[in-house]
Structure 1
Amino acid sequence: MNTRLMGQLAVPIGVIAIIVMMVVPLPTLVLDMLIALNITGALLIVLVSMFVQKPLEFSIFPALLLIFTLFRLALNISATRLVLMDGFAGKVIEAFGHFVVGGSLIVGLVIFTILVIVQMVVVTKGAERVAEVGARFTLDAMPGKQMAIDADLNAGLIDEPEARKRRSEVSAEADFYGAMDGASKFVKGDAIAAIIITLINLIGGFGVGMLQKGMAPAEAIQTYSLLSVGDGLVSQIPALLLSVATGLIVTRSATEGDMGSSVTKQLSQHKLALQIGGGAALALCVIPGLPKLPFLVVGGLVLFASTRLKPPVEEPKDGEAAEGTAAAAVNPDTTESIMGEMRVDPLELALSPDLVDLVDPTGGDLLDRVRALRRKIALELGVVMPPVRTRDDLELPLSGYAIRISGVETGRGQAPPGTVLAIGDGLSALPGRAGIEPVFGLAGKWVPAELHYQAELAGATVVDRASVIITHLAEVVRTNASRLLGREDVRALVETVKRTHPVVVEELTPSLLSLGQIQRVLQSLLEEGVAIRDLVRIFEALSLRAKVSTDHDGLVEAARAALGPAIAQQFTTGGTLTVITLDPQLEHAMLESLRPSENGLFLALDAALAENVVNQIGMHAETAEQQGASPVLACSPQLRPPLHRLLRAGGRKTAVMSYSEIAGSTAQIETMGVVNGAYAGAA
């Protein structure tokens, strides 16, 4: 049997053995061995409690306390059975009843009472209170600790594995102190049970000796009462040790070293205190009647210890340490400093100094909204947004912020402190300064926050500063999702699919496509606003296409065809898909003008014709949008990629879908307009 299996079976077998002890009489030799095991185990727990550096290192303590309490009660029951039946319960209990208390029942009862009082009133009561307060404070602080971890994660100070580790530690700490709050009740109950059991043993032993065995009262008391007191002492010593261990564990929250090192270090830091204490002990020698030798020895030893102490090394304060670390970090001669300056964050939110209150954990909720945005983007596009590094930038104008992707600014806006953005007409009567909603370009006004009710009464839409920034950040992320999808992100997505659909991944990569090729396909889909959440369907389509050709446009079209119904649903309004079609003659001419290039097929059209086609598509799209529809341009699969590139080059954002993609949709098709060659030629 291996060690691991033995460890798994030891505790269950031990608990069953404890239950058996309560009903099966034990030989005195076995009882002596178990009593020795009980005392040694309790002593071992106390020593472990002293040497652990953090309470969580002994997280099994609450359960261990319950098992040892049950074990001790089983020993009480077994010893009581032997005392009352045979008048003898082994050498250990006999020694405690005769030698330890000198064979005196009065002395034994007094010592037993003192042990119970020390355990129950002093140690157990204090440990119970500390455990109760520690559990309440730990649970109250749990949300704040979780928010601090999330803030560090969103700021890029820690990575996801480290954040997961810290969250588990916070949860384990709360569970531990909650368990300790309940476990302290076991110790208190055990002390009460010891008193009751000893009283029962005294009365029961006196009755058995006189009524069953015909002993004289003095002989019955001498025989059974001393054994009962010995049993009580044997059980109370390990009980007291466990109470001390409980107190040590729950009062160790402020130190992280072992107890011996912490005591030595902290007491030795104050040399003057030791000198005064040693001098005071020597001064007691002058009091008449007091023995001189004890105080001379103790005072001399304390003074001698104070002379051997080295002056404590002053540790820098937090601010000084931070300044020293910052100075070392900005040293341009160090490799670490240069490497740190070279690092480019994938996504960064820079704030002017007067906007830092938005990320203050005590009052701002911008970081919480960023965390919620990461989840929203993941569910919407199927890509995990990288952590947003938030920092202040002195180069920004006051009230300004900037959004950067890979160090390149992709968005900028204003969010004046103490104001809200009111969007609408009829705001001339309200004080404030003009502003622009950064995503849709709507005109508005930054009005004082205390006037937001007046702005709403004027018919305006009121948006707070954090919402303006988050909306802008979300739009930047959606627009640039393809740039934010890195090779490591693709690898993580592939591994996620592999856990649930291993065959799909094994067939696709690396035998058919590399991670780089898969990344290019996913980036192309994101660039056109296609969500990549359904990776299983995408990978299946890529596997089939890659067996024929690894041409990039062909791979993208295969993936889009598989996602056709989902793509069409994005533009369906009220069950209707509004489309703009091409005149057959124009479409035929475009197909004949297709030419290959390094970046895929392109349309070799006359410049004027291409411009007029783009303009006519834009006119039809604007007409449809005015009617509340989201139009798409429908064309043949071969034309879709180059036509999309043509519209993007012309500054048009109209989506382009192939006939095969639209065919899979269940929406009703409504044609908004036809782009014809005659119109383009006439223009």
Structure 2
Amino acid sequence: MALPVGIFALFALMVLPIPTVLLDAFFVLNIAIAVAVLMAALNAREPLDFSSFPTVLLFATLLRLALNVASTRVVLVNGHEGGAAAGEVIDAFGQFLVGGNFAVGLFVFAILLIINMIVITKGAGRVSEVSARFVLDALPGKQMAIDADIAAGLITSDEARERRRRVTVEADFHGSMDGASKFVKGDALAALLILAVNVIAGFALGMIGHGLSASEAGELYVTLAVGDALVAQVPALLLSIAAAAIVTRVSDTRDLTGQIGGQFADPRAWLPVALILGGIGLVPAMPQAIFLPAAAIALGIWWALRRQAAKPVDETPVAEEPPPDRIELADVSDQTLVTIELGYGLVQLVDEAKGAPLVSRITGIRKQLSRDLGFVLPQFRIRDSLDAAPNDYAVLLGGVTVAQGSVRPGKLLAIDAGEVRGEPPYAALGLSGEPTRDPSFDCPALWIDPGARDLAVAEGFLAVDASTVIATHANQALAEAAPQLLGPAEVQDLLDALKERSPALVEAIHPEPLSLAALTRIFRALIGDGLSLAHPQPLFTSLALALQKSTDFDALIDAVRVDLGARLVAQVCEPGARLKVVTLDAGLEGAILGGMTDPATGQPLIEPDCGNMIARRIGELTGEHGPLALIVQPPARRALAALLRARARTCLVLSINELPASQPVEVVAVIGEDAPAHEAIAA
């Protein structure tokens, strides 16, 4: 609100009378602003570093004109009372700077006006006009050069976007400076007219309104008018110098002081200066007391610069930009673990001007997965893919596609989650759209217009936008591949956080007897079994106790699962409720354990037909009873868990040792009891 309030304050300054103390404060503020603008202009490395200068010049000019109006009112109303009645600043400029002689003040003001208006402002305006014309004429060529660099592979799309932005800002800046120079010229003319008004009106008011003689009126009013004009002209001259410094700048890596100092640092320029000044000083009619010391100073500068140039140059190599034909590892390697690729038709989903809905959705699922898994997932990367169809997307984990699909931007996906009274294509419901399947849960769905959302919801559909479809699919795919999201860096973060609270517990596990790689392997296996790392202390405690018995990988996993059996059961059973259990027939389980084994791991191998029968039966029971737990003998758990992980994810596979003794159970079925074991295996 500072800028709008300041603008309204300027208008109030023009129309409302203000006390002289406040007027003095505004005059000081005006001078301070002019000095600050001049310093900013001199310290800018290039004109675009002070791109707000045209607007700043406008507001500074408005402030000065408002002060002229306010000071004119004070001078004409209170001028007959003496110089102090118009404020101390105006009185000081009128008395001290021009010696109280208003005639001298008029000449000084006229000279400052000529310098400002004819020399500085006119020259700066001409430079601004030519610069604006050249920049606008060169604009198409610069745009074509950027396009050519992109086509040649010399710059990236981000670099091209930044260069186009700078070209546009440069054109806007020089065009604005061409117009802003007119502010300074108009301000100089306004100062001249205001001085004339103050002088004429002061004489008239002094002699007619207050009965003063012509000399008295001139002594009072003209002196104050000249002081008022000088107060305004000094900051106007500073702003004119700032404008000229901006438009005459040449782009350099140094500020103006460094640029000028560096270019005057050549000792060859100062020896002729010293010789010429010394020669003039030797002429008898010249003031030798001035020329000879000046020649000595120039000679000293030459000597110092010559010694500086003779010093050895620092041979430290300067980092050079790589040549265009050089290929870096970053150009061919993607260091991001999770990448979401979008066809060019879906780029609008990450457009910041449209709210970037996909970015917020992806951030949400990343936070949710991090909370569920117990460690911070690495940053996801969203990029466009020229190889994909316009409306296609893909979720990549470590460069491997784990999910892909197609969406319709600008439309909603109406999903039939089982509550719709009707069958596809749902024409009887009055809902029209493009038939499809929900990529996350494979439910019947329609792509509909946003205007049909209310009708779809009323009919029992779940209506979501394209960004939600992509985010939900990515969430499901990454949750299934959760163990691959955990790496040594994330495990190290867990160790560091736990070490602050329980350093002895960490020392009992890491670095001996378990290295960081061994811990990563164990935690990946536990995450695959559904154990979250969100509460690491009980997990590390169980692991530390298991290490007292064995360091074998399988034995450690089994021991931790037995110790944390209650956490496993909590995945499918609420506290205090009966756990719905499915078991295998003794003959079937014995046949599995007595059959073929994997020579590498020693685990039982389940024949495909037997595995299909078990998975199919588990699926039927899950549909009837909801989440279930399959209780088996410890040697069969891993084989059956691997079988059902891909076919019946909601079924929890537990060994009999992992079932808590206090957990009430309800056996809902025994698989394979209606057929002999050999028939079940052969079925």
User: What TM-score comes out, normalization by structure 2 length?
Assistant: 0.51
State the AA in 1 paired with 2:482: A
The answer to whether residue 578 in structure 2 is matched with residue 581 in structure 1 is no
Q: CA 1:460–1:330 in structure 2 vs 1: closer, same or farther (change >3 Å)?
A: farther
* CA deviations over 1:381-418 (Å, ceiling 9, x no partner): 22323222112223222222111111221111222022
State the AA in 1 paired with 2:586: P
In the alignment, the residues of structure 2 paired with residue 452 and residue 335 of structure 1 have an alpha-carbon distance, to the nearest angstrom, of 50
CA contact (8 A) 2:395 2:402 kept: yes
- 1:400 aligned residue (378, 392, 397): 392
Aligned residue for 2:382? Answer: 390
The answer to whether residue 347 in structure 2 is matched with residue 350 in structure 1 is no
In the alignment, the residues of structure 2 paired with residue 414 and residue 349 of structure 1 have an alpha-carbon distance, to the nearest angstrom, of 13
CA contact (8 A) 1:357 1:363 kept: no
Report the 3-state secondary structure (helix = DSSP H, G, I; strand = E; otherwise coil) of the residue aligned with 1:350: strand
In the alignment, the residues of structure 1 paired with residue 596 and residue 483 of structure 2 have an alpha-carbon distance, to the nearest angstrom, of 26
Aligned residue for 1:470? Answer: 471
In the alignment, the residues of structure 1 paired with residue 252 and residue 433 of structure 2 have an alpha-carbon distance, to the nearest angstrom, of 51
Offset of residue 480 of structure 1: 0.9
CA contact (8 A) 2:603 2:635 kept: no
Aligned residue for 1:313? Answer: 250
Between structure 1 and structure 2, the one with the greater Rg is 2
Q: CA 1:522–1:378 in structure 2 vs 1: closer, same or farther (change >3 Å)?
A: same
In the alignment, the residues of structure 1 paired with residue 602 and residue 406 of structure 2 have an alpha-carbon distance, to the nearest angstrom, of 42
Offset of residue 530 of structure 1: 2.9
In the alignment, the residues of structure 2 paired with residue 356 and residue 330 of structure 1 have an alpha-carbon distance, to the nearest angstrom, of 31
State the AA in 2 paired with 1:312: R
Aligned residue for 1:27? Answer: none
Pairing 1:212-611 to 2, within 5 Å after superposition: 311-314=248-251, 333-336=325-328, 338-361=329-352, 362-424=354-416, 425-426=422-423, 427-428=426-427, 429-572=430-573, 575-592=577-594, 597-598=599-600, 600-603=601-604, 605=605, 610-611=607-608
Aligned residue for 2:639? Answer: 642
* CA deviations over 1:263-321 (Å, ceiling 9, x no partner): xxx9xx9998999899999x99xx999999x99xx9999999999999423599xxxxx
CA contact (8 A) 1:278 1:302 kept: no
Report the 3-state secondary structure (helix = DSSP H, G, I; strand = E; otherwise coil) of the residue aligned with 2:542: helix
Percent of pairs with identical residues: 28
Report the 3-state secondary structure (helix = DSSP H, G, I; strand = E; otherwise coil) of the residue aligned with 2:403: strand
Report the 3-state secondary structure (helix = DSSP H, G, I; strand = E; otherwise coil) of the residue aligned with 2:635: coil
Offset of residue 367 of structure 1: 2.0
The answer to whether residue 654 in structure 2 is matched with residue 662 in structure 1 is no
In the alignment, the residues of structure 2 paired with residue 280 and residue 301 of structure 1 have an alpha-carbon distance, to the nearest angstrom, of 16
CA contact (8 A) 1:568 1:665 kept: no
Q: CA 1:420–1:590 in structure 2 vs 1: closer, same or farther (change >3 Å)?
A: same
User: What TM-score comes out, normalization by structure 1 length?
Assistant: 0.51
Report the 3-state secondary structure (helix = DSSP H, G, I; strand = E; otherwise coil) of the residue aligned with 2:659: helix
Report the 3-state secondary structure (helix = DSSP H, G, I; strand = E; otherwise coil) of the residue aligned with 1:602: coil
Offset of residue 500 of structure 1: 2.2
Report the 3-state secondary structure (helix = DSSP H, G, I; strand = E; otherwise coil) of the residue aligned with 1:663: coil
Gaps of 5+ in 1: 1-112, 128-265, 317-327
Q: CA 1:682–1:302 in structure 2 vs 1: closer, same or farther (change >3 Å)?
A: closer
Offset of residue 433 of structure 1: 0.9
Q: CA 1:442–1:272 in structure 2 vs 1: closer, same or farther (change >3 Å)?
A: closer
Gaps of 5+ in 2: 1-18, 34-173, 200-217, 254-319, 417-421
In the alignment, the residues of structure 1 paired with residue 389 and residue 372 of structure 2 have an alpha-carbon distance, to the nearest angstrom, of 33
In the alignment, the residues of structure 2 paired with residue 633 and residue 373 of structure 1 have an alpha-carbon distance, to the nearest angstrom, of 30
Offset of residue 490 of structure 1: 1.1
CA contact (8 A) 1:352 1:401 kept: yes
Aligned residue for 1:625? Answer: 622
CA contact (8 A) 1:279 1:303 kept: no
In the alignment, the residues of structure 2 paired with residue 632 and residue 413 of structure 1 have an alpha-carbon distance, to the nearest angstrom, of 32
Pairing 1:96-245 to 2, within 5 Å after superposition: 118-119=24-25
Offset of residue 590 of structure 1: 4.2
* CA deviations over 1:481-528 (Å, ceiling 9, x no partner): 111111111111221222222221111101121111111111112223
Q: CA 1:273–1:457 in structure 2 vs 1: closer, same or farther (change >3 Å)?
A: closer
Q: Aligned pairs, how many?
A: 411
Report the 3-state secondary structure (helix = DSSP H, G, I; strand = E; otherwise coil) of the residue aligned with 2:517: helix
Aligned residue for 1:677? Answer: 677
Q: CA 1:664–1:471 in structure 2 vs 1: closer, same or farther (change >3 Å)?
A: farther
Pairing 1:17-96 to 2, within 5 Å after superposition: none
Aligned residue for 1:205? Answer: none
CA contact (8 A) 1:632 1:656 kept: yes
In the alignment, the residues of structure 1 paired with residue 512 and residue 580 of structure 2 have an alpha-carbon distance, to the nearest angstrom, of 41
State the AA in 2 paired with 1:395: D
Offset of residue 119 of structure 1: 4.7
**300-309 or 579-588: bigger deviation:** 300-309
In the alignment, the residues of structure 2 paired with residue 660 and residue 272 of structure 1 have an alpha-carbon distance, to the nearest angstrom, of 88
Q: What's the Cα RMSD here?
A: 4.6
Offset of residue 472 of structure 1: 0.7
Offset of residue 346 of structure 1: 0.8
In the alignment, the residues of structure 2 paired with residue 279 and residue 364 of structure 1 have an alpha-carbon distance, to the nearest angstrom, of 50
Report the 3-state secondary structure (helix = DSSP H, G, I; strand = E; otherwise coil) of the residue aligned with 2:355: coil
* CA deviations over 1:360-380 (Å, ceiling 9, x no partner): 334343222222222222222
In the alignment, the residues of structure 2 paired with residue 367 and residue 649 of structure 1 have an alpha-carbon distance, to the nearest angstrom, of 30
Q: CA 1:631–1:617 in structure 2 vs 1: closer, same or farther (change >3 Å)?
A: farther
Offset of residue 438 of structure 1: 0.9
